Amino acid sequence: IYYTCSIKPISCATKNGCGTLTNPENFLNQDYQQLKQYCLIRRLRYIDDMFPPDKTSIGDNLLSPSDLNRVQWLRPAKIVSNPSFVVHGISRFDFKQGMVGDCWFLASLGALTFQKHIFQQVVHLEQTFDEDYCGLFHFRFWRFGRWVDVVIDDKLPTVNGNLIFVHSKDPTEFWPALLEKAYAKVCGSYSDMRAGTPAEALVDFTGGVHMSLDLSDPPPNLWDLMLRAGKSKSLMGCTTPQGTSANTVQPNGLVRGHAYTVTGHICFVCRGKVVNLVRLLNPWGQGEWNGDWSDRSPLWQTVSPEDRDMYRTVANNGEFWMLMEDFCKFYNDLDICCLCPSFLDGSSACHWNTSYYEGRWVAGTTAGGCMNNMDSFWTNPQYRVKIESLLGDCAKSQGGKNMLVSLMQKPDKRNRRLVQNLHIGFYVFENKAERGKFPESFFKMNRPVAQTKTYMNSREVMEFMMLKPGDYLIVPSTFGPNETASFLLTIVAKAETHVQLKPACSFVSET
């Protein structure tokens, strides 16, 4: 006989190296192995005190009071008679979005299913409802420079016995619902998952490098870039413009203010012209583009029967093809996330080095604001970077960029919806002689050689740049002075780099 109980969190026992992919931190100090052994020895079904099966975990303003009162938290075995964690493998077609506006998360999840080795870093596929089952599951996410292991119980919110949030198309499969619950716990509640961009979840799934491309002004090599990104096993997502209201289905079948997964690309010769097509997936699991090259478009009759049978699927499963030109016309940005940006070169000749640095702006001491505030700008944290010359085959690479700098602000609250992002950005200066901390006079006499295009109140800002070998200074800042916040600075460089911190900031890791 199994009993249900609540268990207090157990402190993380790991010390050195805690927070890496192979040795993640225990989120909220809950240790999966200790909790599991406790439950198995005492024959208990786990209930998570840190994310309890009640209204607080659903959060505010997500469900109406009447719907909230109808919610029952049920374990999978109470929903179906034969629950499974995974049924017939992992697929982007496994799940459909529920009542949470987390299309950004699910679009990223659709991209994750293409990369099985990355997927298995997030989702432990050995978990089952059979041997050693005790109602306890765990997942792994990258959060602001550290990997965390997140435990949950498997009680899921239902109404009339049906899952109300993400659910599998096969009612006996539960990995999507449990994964969404784990991420909701990280965000603070299900309500805290409403609204976002694919980039956020893509980075949290991979701990990788993110870049965002503006499709209203795309780079001239966008198609080649997407091809190379696909071959390098990058994850890609995109969003449509917000318009006057989100989630409005337009006459062309696309949803306003909605996130989609980029799932493929092909090139045809049609009527003597080269046609580039992009394949996209709506995380609703239905609702598709109905223009040129959509499922029932007559243009499919202009390609060979073999290609038509291979690439076209006439089913309202949410996935569809569209012209590259239409993709740029009807979507506003493309997010690409990869473990290494070597695909930008079209070659793997170079080894890119990634370094993470934690820092903090403190009002009155190290929060000088942007360069509009010249009297205080110099007080911001300063990172001195020395870039070495490229060597060997890497020196022959034709890539136009050799460094990516990312600035991510760290939240001061657990609940995602309560976090007030500041406007952040950074400048890069060339340095030829200065020693020690750079004084106010240096910034009055020198202009930056690179910088973020604008200060944005987003979780992360980033810029790719080309810097010749030499000494540089990176200065991250908030837009206004005297704004206190913590941040994570990531430097990804094709060449060997050496960084000194002025003043001292904590060094996280280097890979």
Rg (alpha carbons) of the chain, rounded to whole number:
24
Annotation marks residue 61 as catalytic = no
Catalytically annotated residue among 138, 210, 282, 350: 282
Q: Which residues pair with 492 in a beta bridge?
A: 354, 404
Distance between CA atoms of 1 and 17, rounded to whole angstroms? 40
Annotation marks residue 258 as catalytic = yes
Distance between CA atoms of 137 and 205, rounded to whole angstroms? 17
Geometric angle at alpha carbon 312, from 308 and 315, rounded to 5°: 145
Catalytically annotated residue among 103, 134, 238, 328: 103
Give the three-state DSSP class for 255.
strand
Distance between CA atoms of 158 and 149, rounded to whole angstroms? 25
Catalytically annotated residue among 138, 167, 210, 258: 258
Query: Hey, what are 357's tokens?
Result: 């640095």
**Residue linked to tokens 């119980």:** 153
| CA of residue 463 relative to chain centroid, distance | 17
Annotation marks residue 103 as catalytic = yes
Helix or strand holding residue 316 (H, E): none
What is the residue-wise DSSP string for 242-294?
A: --SSTTPBPTTSPBTT-EEEEEEEEEEEETTEEEEEEEEE-TTS-----STTS
- The helix-helix angle for 103-112 and 198-206 (nearest 10°) equals 40
Query: Hey, what are 209's tokens?
Result: 């490098």
Residues 6+ apart with CB under 8 A from 422: 409, 457, 478, 479, 483, 485
Helix or strand holding residue 53 (H, E): none
DSSP assignment letter at 344: G
From the number of C-beta atoms within 10 Å of its C-beta (0-12, 13-18, 19+), residue 314 rates as: exposed
Helix or strand holding residue 474 (H, E): strand 470-478
Cβ–Cβ < 8 Å for 362, 484: yes
Biggest distance spanned by C-alpha atoms of the chain: 76
Q: How far is CA 258 from CA 58, 104, 261, 453, in A?
A: 22, 8, 10, 25
Q: Residue 331: which of 259, 279, 251 has the closest Cα?
A: 259
Query: Hey, what are 223's tokens?
Result: 């198609």
Q: Which positions are catalytic?
A: 103, 258, 282
